[in-house]
Each structure stands twice: as structure tokens, then as C-alpha cells.
């Protein structure tokens, strides 16, 4: 895209609480703000990208991202964020890694992230089992 053709740029941070993985830049030929539906789509794309990148950061440079991460919208329930905090406190790791471990654990045990998070918050599951 020729810089002269850029009418608008939309930059959306890829973050979940304190976990930050970057930003997504979107370019459009026509100037002006987004319609509600366009903004909604852009934010959902950023949500999915955040999840995918958080997972990738856990599997390493050669880790392939399972299609599942790209097709499921990330859980946004309070328990997931609280469970992230529990894993941070247990291992002294940053939020990015804590979230990645949680998602990885849910994936290998074939459970929903919400369920695993709920178990951690209710103390039915100790975070030490999520040592990956």
C-alpha cells in the first residue's frame, strides 16, 4: 500500500490486563472513524490475536499455534483474570507467561479455560500443577 493511499490508521493494543504482547495496526484507504460494527470486528480480531500470541509465547519460536486459538474467542470472565493472578503469585512470572500456562494447561487437559480458572479460584486446584 502506497503511503499516499492511507486515509486512516487504527492501532489497537494487544493486551489483557498487565499482559502485553504488542499492537495491531490496520490501514484503510478512506479517512474517518470506524462504524460500530467495524470497531467491534477490529476489537475481536485484536482479542484473537492476543490469545494466539500469548499461547505462541509459551510454545516457543517453533511452536505452532493450534487452529483452536484462532477460532475461539478468549474467555473474559473475572475468574480467568483472577486465576492469572494466582499463577503469577505462585511462580513469580509475568502475566503473559501465566496466561499462556493457564491456556496450555486447559488445552492439554482438554478442559475449558473458564473451568480451570474457576477451580483455581475456588481452591479445588492448586496452581503448582500448572508448572508446565
Partner 1 sequence: MSGQSESGGAARERELLLAFVDMADTLVDDYDVVEVLHRLADYCVSLLGASAAVLSLSDQRGGLRLMASSPERAGLLETQTEQGPSLEAYLTGELVQIDDLTTATTRWPEFTPEALAEGFHTVQAVPLRLRGQIIGALNLFGRDTKLGPRNLKVARALADTATIGILQERAIRRGEVLAEQLQRALNSRVIIEQAKGVLSHAADLPMDHVFPYLRTYSRDRNLHLHDVANDIVRGHLEPGAIVDAHKARDRHQPRSAP
Residues forming the site for partner 1 (CB under 8 A): 15-18, 33-34, 36, 39-40, 43-44, 47, 76-78, 81-90, 92, 94-95, 121, 127
Q: What is the nearest approach in angstroms of partner 1 to the Cβ of residue 39? A: 6
Rg (CA), the chain: 17
Contact 117, 83 (CB under 8 A): yes
Residue 47 or 115 with smaller CB distance to partner 1: 47
Name the CA dihedral angle for 13, 121, 118, 107, rounded to a multiple of 10 degrees.
60
Residue 27 or 63 with smaller CB distance to partner 1: 27
Q: What is the nearest approach in angstroms of partner 1 to the Cβ of residue 63? A: 24
DSSP 72: S
Amino acid at each position: 500500500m502506497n503511503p499516499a493511499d492511507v486515509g486512516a490508521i487504527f492501532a489497537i493494543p494487544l493486551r489483557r490486563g498487565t499482559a502485553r504482547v504488542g499492537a495491531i495496526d490496520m490501514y484503510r484507504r478512506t479517512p474517518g472513524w470506524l462504524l460500530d460494527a467495524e470497531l467491534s470486528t477490529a476489537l475481536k480480531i485484536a482479542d484473537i490475536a492476543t490469545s494466539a500470541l500469548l499461547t505462541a509465547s509459551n510454545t516457543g519460536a517453533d511452536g505452532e499455534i493450534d487452529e483452536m486459538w484462532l477460532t475461539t474467542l478468549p474467555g473474559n470472565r473475572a475468574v480467568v483474570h483472577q486465576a492469572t493472578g494466582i499463577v503469577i503469585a505462585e511462580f513469580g512470572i509475568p502475566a503473559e507467561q501465566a496466561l499462556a500456562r493457564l491456556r496450555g494447561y486447559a488445552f492439554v487437559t482438554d478442559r475449558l479455560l473458564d473451568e480451570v480458572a474457576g477451580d483455581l479460584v475456588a481452591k479445588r486446584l492448586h496452581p503448582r500443577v500448572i508448572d508446565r
